[in-house]
Each structure stands twice: as C-alpha cells, then as structure tokens.
Amino acid sequence: MSAPTTTARQPAAHTATPEAPARPSRGRQTIITVIVGAIILAAASGLRIDWTDLGRVPAQVVHYLQLMFGPPNWEKLPRALEETWRSISMAWVGAIICVVISIPLGMLAAHGIGPAWLRFVLRGLFAVIRAVPEVIIALLLLAVTGLTPFTGALALGIAGIGTQGKWVYETIESVQDGSAEAVRAAGGSTAEVARWALWPAAKASLLSFALYRFEINIRTSAVLGLIGAGGIGSMLSNYTNYRQWDTVGMLLIVVVLATMLMDTISGAIRRRIMEGAKPRGMERSS
C-alpha cells in the first residue's frame, strides 16, 4: 500500500489595496499668497500711478536715448576720465577701510573665537550697519567732513563693514578645524589662534571677498556722487540737471566701460587667488 499523501493547504493570498496618500493642505500657502497680494495692491494703490502713462514710456525712452547717444558729446571726455579715476580711488580707499576693520571684528564674532557677549554685540552691530544704506551714511557724514571725496570713501568703508563682517565670521566658522584647537592647546592666545590657525585657512576666501567689496564700491561710488560726494556721479548729476543729454550719454558710456573693465580685472585676480597659480607646464599645455 502506498502512503497517503497529504496536501498542504495554501493560505489564501490577501492583496491589500494601497491607500492613496492624503492630499497636502494648501491652506497656509493660500493665506500667504493672499497676504502678499494684498500688500502689493496696497502699495500700488498708495503710489497713485497713472497707468495711462505706461503707453508713452517706450516712446520717451527712445527719445532720450537718441538725445544721449546720437551722437554723444566727447568734449568733456578728459574731465570724465579724471572724475572716473576719482570714483575708483574713492571705492578703493573705502574697500581698504572696510576690510581692515571688518576682518578682525568678523573673526571675533565667529563661534569659538570671541566670548558670547562680544559675538552678540558685534553681530548686532553688523546687522544695524547693513540696515543703513550708503547714501544715508554719506548724508550723515556731510555735516562733519563736507562735500569731499573722502566723505564718499568713508561712507563706503563704514557701510561695507556690516556685509564684510558677516562674510568674515561665516567664512571662519566654515573653515575651523583642529588647527585652532591645536594652537590653543599649545598655549596660544586668541590673536595667535587667528594669526596661525584661522588666517591661513581663510585667507583666500577673505581676499576674494575684499575684491568683491571693491567691485560693489565702484558701482556705489557713482550713486554717492549724485549727493555731492565727488567723482563721476557728481558730474553726471550736474549735466543731467542742465539737460545736456549728449554729455550725459558720454558719461554713461564712460561709467559702463570703466565698471566692466574693473570687474574684469578684479574677477581675474579673484580667480587667481581662489584657484592658485598654475604650473608653467600646465599653462603651456592648456
């Protein structure tokens, strides 16, 4: 006789239908959108804009472009170049003032370097300075220094401390490694930690930020000239007030070309600092 075979019963397969995820609520996003839209409408209504004038804007723009650049007046070019150089000098002096002050203060504002109370004070100071535009600082300085290019340079230097100081302490906090602790373990002071541990690690980034500050100052120096701080901005403001549009066009060409040239030179130097010098053999092969 053959042994009876037992058939194992297979359990019935129950396939559970996956439930669809809950639809995310967009109530918060809708509320934010409504609030932003209401603010925009309130701002637009408060300006009392005559929207019928928008149709005449393109024709007016073309008209004044023809007055300025068809053709520009090149008789004042030597003086324009002199004033442009004054604006560049003002921007450079302002950048030096900013960097010299912001680097040590920014290092003290970094975590692990200065005490907590000092970090709080310095970061608050940087925030206050960033909240005040360069033009306001220049207007406050006019009562002390008068209408001189030094006023513009000092305003650029003070206004840049807020942004530059923030860049410094963020850079220091991102590059901190064991070198700072090693210097402290060897008995080094805060100044020695900054000199021998932090500065070598952050030098390239901080110098790059300093050159970028100089680029920003070049653009801002033209704006400060509009309030009498000197430079190409003052010349541009004067000829605009007297409606000498052909001279204004020449000045705009000089400002744009000078800004582009300085940006190109500064950008090349910043890339050299960040990337380092290439070996001569590599330069020839490339």
Does residue 71 have a cis bond before it (omega within 30 degrees)? yes
Q: Tell me the CA distances in angstroms from 122 to 87, 118, 195, 211, 260, one per residue in order.
A: 30, 6, 20, 23, 34
Q: Which whole number is the average pLDDT over 181-193?
A: 70
Give percent of the chain with pLDDT exceeding 90.
11
pLDDT at residue 268 greater than cutoff 90: no
- Contacts of residue 128, Cβ cutoff 8 Å, sequence gap at least 6: 162
H or E element, residue 190: helix 190-193
Residue bearing the bigger pLDDT, 116 or 55:
116
Confidence of residue 66 (pLDDT cuts 50, 70, 90): confident
pLDDT score for 193: 72
Question: How far is 277 from 27, CA to CA, in rounded Å?
Answer: 55
pLDDT band at 122 (very low <50, low <70, confident <90, very high): very high
The per-residue pLDDT for range 140-177, each reduced to its tens digit, is 888 777 777 788 889 899 999 999 999 998 888 887 66
Res. 240: pLDDT tops 70: yes
Q: Which of 44 and 31 is assigned the larger pLDDT?
A: 31
pLDDT at 277 over 60: no
Instruction: For residues 129-135, give the mean pLDDT.
Output: 89
pLDDT for 78-90, tens place per residue? 998 998 898 898 8
| pLDDT classification of 101: cutoffs 50, 70, 90 | very high
The larger pLDDT score, comparing residue 232 to residue 284, is at 232
Asked if residue 196 lies in contact with residue 266, where contact means CB atoms within 8 angstroms, the answer is no
The separation between the first and the last C-alpha atoms of the chain, rounded to the nearest angstrom, is 90
Domain 68-275 -> CATH class = mainly alpha
What are the structural domain ranges in the chain?
Answer: 68-275
Look up residue 197 and give its DSSP letter.
I
Q: How many helices (H) and strands (E) does the chain have?
A: 12, 0
What pLDDT band is residue 129 in, cutting at 50, 70 and 90? very high
SS3 of residue 50 by DSSP: coil
Amino acid at 245: W
Residue 121 is predicted with a pLDDT of 93
Distance CA 68, CA 248 (A): 6
> What percentage of the chain carries pLDDT values higher than 70?
83
Return the residue matching tokens 């030096």. Answer: 96
pLDDT higher than 80, residue 34: yes
**Is 252 exposed, middle or buried, given 0-12, 13-18 or 19+ CB atoms closer than 10 A?**
middle
b/e per residue, 77-114, with b = 16+ CB within 10 A? eeebeebbebbbbbbbbbbebbbebbbebbbbbbeebb
Angle ∠(81,257,85) on CA atoms, nearest 5: 30
Please tell me the distance from the alpha carbon of residue 217 to that of residue 40, in angstroms, as a whole number.
31
Residue with the bigger pLDDT between 269 and 278: it is: 269
The reported pLDDT for the residue numbered 172 is 85
Higher pLDDT, 52 or 214: 214
pLDDT at 93 over 60: yes
More confident residue, 60 or 178: 60
CA distance 109 to 125: 10
* Residue type at position 91: A
If 0-12 CB within 10 Å is exposed, 13-18 middle and 19+ buried, where does residue 240 land? Answer: middle
pLDDT for the residue 279: 54
